[in-house]
Each structure stands twice: as structure tokens, then as C-alpha cells.
Amino acid sequence: MAHTVHFEDLPTSSRSPSAASHRYSETAQILKSKPMKWARILQRARRGDAATTAYQIRKGILAAFRPAGSFEAKSRTKDGNYYVYARYVGPKESAPRVNGSPDGGDA
């Protein structure tokens, strides 16, 4: 059975950005103002929560810290408290694409 495909412009989204999308935008801007300087940005209740937040920053899962790799983040324990430290390092250069594949092969 053949499928019918219609090419058309993507309709605009009716969703408004969530508060979570912009929750850390001020923090990200402050870090960008002092590139390569580590700052303690958050305190978490549990070690795992601090580690997860640091991971989300590094991977760009949290929108304010995109593109992925623009920020470094680490979790640390100090005096029995769990903190997230981060710094802005700038956007990472992506690998050149040859033939549409990141590794140069024929995808």
C-alpha cells in the first residue's frame, strides 16, 4: 500500500514555553559573563540530585544551558551539603559532516 505524503510548512506551536524552559536563563547569562570561571550555582538535598542537575547542564537538557557542551558542570559535597558548580566554556565545534554522516561514511 502506498502512503500519501504532503509536504507543507510546519504549523506554529500553540504551546507557550514552560517556566522550566527559562528557569536558569539568568544563571546561564551570569556564567557567560565570566567564561571559564567556576561558580557554585545550586544546592540540592541529595547527592544524586546534584549529580543529575550537573549532567542536565552538561548535556543541554536544561534549555538555558544550550547548546550542549557550552557549559561544564560538576557536583560536589562540601560540609555535608550537595552543590552544583558550573562554568561557561563556549559552544563546541561540531565535527565536519561528509556525505551527510558525522563520521564521513555513507550513513
> What backbone phi and psi angles, to 5 degrees, belong to 29?
-65, -40
Tell me if 101 is assigned to some domain. no
Quick: pLDDT tens for 76-107: 999 999 999 999 999 877 555 555 544 444 44
Q: What is the domain count for the chain? A: 1
Tell me if 16 is assigned to some domain. no
pTM for the structure as a whole? 0.69
Quick: pLDDT tens for 4-50: 888 888 888 776 655 555 789 999 999 999 999 999 999 999 999 99
Give the domain extent around 79: 24-83
| Cβ pair 60, 66 in contact under 8 A | yes
Query: CA angle 70-56-50, nearest 5°?
Result: 120
Tell me if 36 is assigned to some domain. yes
Tell me if 63 is assigned to some domain. yes
